[in-house]
Amino acid sequence: MSGGICSIISAALVAMGITFGIMPFLLDFCRKRGYYDLPGGRKVHHCAIPRLGGLLFMPSMLVALVSVLILSSSWWQGVLTLKVSSLAMAVGAFLIYIIGTVDDLVGMKPNHKFAVQLVAALLMPFCGLLINNFYGLFGLHELPVWFSYPFTVFVILLVVNSINLIDGIDGLASGLCICILAAYIFLYLQMERTFVYALVASGLLGSLVAFFYFNMWGKAEKGTKTFMGDSGSLFLGYAIAYLSIKYATNNPVVLPYRGDALLISYTLLIVPTFDVIRVALFRLYRGKPIFEADKSHIHHLVMAAGFSMHQAWAVIMGLFLFFCGLNAALYVWGVSDTWIVVLDVLSYGLFHVAMYLCSKCRA
């Protein structure tokens, strides 16, 4: 395991170094070509910011992964096996990365973008990677195939778009994903024959940490600030969806049965996915298109309650940690998964009521 830890750290450092090294050149390219995210509408920034920072996530992760595998080939003998589901993830991730890049560069119609997302999402379950067990949630255990396939596709699309849509203030999407990836590194390290997934998460985490620096503390006036854009957020969402579903899939040949598998994956994704579901339901209730952009996302509501952008980041990250701590405690105390989900929904609702009341007091 000591060799494994060294490989994990090496992958993160390589990806981080690549991102730190190339980012200044990428920002200069954005300035010369005019690839900016302009202020206005529902956006909270007040000046033009380069929007291609996330373009480095996939290549830096791949270089880090390949480098570590080459340098530690003796340690990896018998550990890395090429599987159909891994190929599906690679093809799907590439499709997602391409449409995100095209959207950042020249723009893309939402229906065309969603169609490619759907194709990428379909690859996972049809190559054997699907949510096939609820582990007692709502009284359900093993799921029928006719339900598992569409439900898995729905979850993938939900996660991909939730990461994309929560990328509304500095450091929020990247901060949440850094925490999620760190958790999956730890989780996959605890099991046999899953080290490659910890390595993938580590490479992506390293690139994200470097991006976080430019996104959170970069200065627009000095040309050191950037946004991840769709190329970064969509790819990030797809990679996390893959890691989450892989962990939640009940496959005793590869992984032992783990009653907390689905609960853990669900808990790590509560903040972004609950936000998208809430916004979609409210838009439907008001008779508005669910894809219509507005200022109803969680970061908008927290800022409307009187918090600055960085304070809103801290509040939402605190909410993420709250749900992780709450669900861990409830699970240890023997509370069923169903009641944990119910308490999560109630807690999330109370949080939004509190934010709404604070915003009304300020009005």
Identify the pLDDT of residue 219: 85
Number of H helices, E strands in the chain: 14, 2
Residue range 217-229, pLDDT digits in tens:
988 888 889 999 9
Please check the confidence at residue 292 and state whether its pLDDT lies above 90: no
Render pLDDT for 334-357 as a digit per residue (tens, 0 to 9): 999 999 999 999 999 999 999 999
Lowest-pLDDT choice from 57-61, 104-108, 239-243: 104-108
DSSP 128: T
pLDDT of 37 above 90: no
Give the Cα separation of 220 and 165 in Å (integer). Answer: 22
Q: Which domain holds residue 123?
A: 2-362
Whether the pLDDT of residue 203 is over 70: the answer is yes
What pLDDT is attached to residue 252? 63
- The pLDDT assigned to 237 comes to 97
Contacts of residue 338, defined as CB under 8 A and 6 or more positions apart, other chains included, come to: 136, 137, 138, 139
CA angle 112/270/146 to nearest 5° reads 60
pLDDT of 160 strictly over 60: yes
C-alpha angle with apex 16: 10 to 17, nearest 5 degrees?
90
Q: Given this model, what pLDDT does residue 311 score?
A: 95
Lowest mean pLDDT among 53-62, 65-74, 116-125, 176-185: 65-74
Confidence of residue 47 (pLDDT cuts 50, 70, 90): confident
pLDDT at 45: 60
Q: pLDDT value at position 288?
A: 81
- Mean pLDDT for 297-316 is 93
Q: Is 164 annotated as a binding residue?
A: yes
pLDDT given at position 187 = 92
Closest by Cα among 243, 285, 265, 227 to 133: 265
Report the chain's mean pLDDT, rounded to a whole number.
89
The whole-angstrom separation of Cα 212 and Cα 19 is 11
Phi, psi (deg, nearest 5) at residue 133 = -155, 135
What's the CA angle centered on 154, arms 148 and 158, to 5 degrees? Answer: 140
Query: Is 260 assigned to a binding site?
Result: no
Locate 208 and state its tokens.
């994200």
Residue scoring higher pLDDT (45 or 7): 7
Query: In total, how many domains does the chain have?
Result: 1
pLDDT at 201 over 60: yes
pLDDT surpassing 60 at residue 202: yes
- Of residues 44 and 57, the one with the higher pLDDT is 57
Q: Does 330 have pLDDT greater than 60?
A: yes
pLDDT of 92 higher than 90: yes
Structure confidence by residue, pLDDT tens digits, 71-85: 765 445 444 445 666
Return the H-helix or E-strand segment holding 50. strand 49-50
Q: How far is the C-alpha of 248 from the C-alpha of 159, rounded, in Å?
A: 14
Q: State residue 218's pLDDT score.
A: 86
CA dihedral (313, 316, 320, 325) in degrees, to 10, reads 110
Q: What is the pLDDT of residues 228-276, one digit of tens each?
A: 999 999 999 999 999 999 999 876 655 666 778 899 999 999 999 999 9
